[in-house]
Amino acid sequence: MDRDKTVCYCMGITNGMIQDAVEAGAKTLEEVQEQTMAGTVCGSCRENIQHLVDFFVKEKNNV
Ligand code: FES
């Protein structure tokens, strides 16, 4: 996982910032959006963010 890869271009949000939001307690796309503002502009990145959230939540629960 490349933490520096941008996932939301409108807000300049990277994979790592999504991961940090999940680490900070966000469990859903909506909660990540509230914390980071990712996916709140054009919305075209929402599906990708959803995948990342699912991935990081799973990863977090496996540790
Ligand atoms: S690329 Fe994320 S809201 Fe537009």
Ligand 1 centroid, distance to 60 Cα (angstroms): 25
User: For 18-60, what is each residue's pLDDT tens digit?
Assistant: 999 999 999 999 999 999 999 999 999 999 999 999 999 999 9
Structure tokens at 35: 């914390």
**How many CB atoms are closer than 10 A to CB 16?**
14
Check if 18 has its Cβ closer than 6 Å to any atom of ligand 1: no
Q: Tell me the best of 44, 50, 51 to mutate to test the pocket of ligand 1, counting ligand atoms within 8 Å of each CB and taking the most.
A: 44
What domains can be seen in the chain, in order of their start residue? 6-62 (1.10.10.1100)
Confidence grade of residue 17 (pLDDT, cut at 50, 70, 90)? very high
pLDDT score for 7: 98
Check if 44 has its Cβ closer than 6 Å to any atom of ligand 1: yes
Q: Give CA–CA dist 28/57, Å, rounded.
A: 9
pLDDT score for 1: 83
